[in-house]
Amino acid sequence: MSETEQKVKDIIVEQLGVNPAEVTDAATFDGDLGADSLDIMELVLAFEEAFKDESGKSLEIPDDDAAKIKTVGDAVNYIKEKQGVTT
């Protein structure tokens, strides 16, 4: 597991108070992990604070992008892409 992937999953575990074993790539936030709409907003905020984009600025996750992040895997891929990491 890459450093980014581990960090994303750690944030999800902390923010949502879920068991690390549940945080699989396919797990959906609103279904499998029981997050409500505000949990997801808090998660997006936490990602923005924890990561930087490829130019070294704090990550910005616009609403339209946030709406497309449905699973843990989506979040990991989105953040890696913003960091300029090729997957």
Pairwise CA distance, residues 42 & 55, whole Å = 24
Q: How many CA atoms lie within 13 A of 7 on its CB side?
A: 13
Q: Which of 28, 66, 71, 80 binds other proteins (CB under 8 A)?
A: 66
Task: For residue 42, state whether it binds other proteins (rule: CB under 8 A).
Answer: yes
Task: For residue 68, state whether it binds other proteins (rule: CB under 8 A).
Answer: no
Known catalytic residue: 63?
A: no
Task: For residue 37, state whether it binds other proteins (rule: CB under 8 A).
Answer: yes
The DSSP line for 15-44 is: HHT--GGG--TT-BTTTTT---HHHHHHHH
Q: Which residues are catalytic?
A: 36
Q: List contacts with other proteins (CB under 8 A).
A: 36-38, 41-42, 44-45, 63, 66
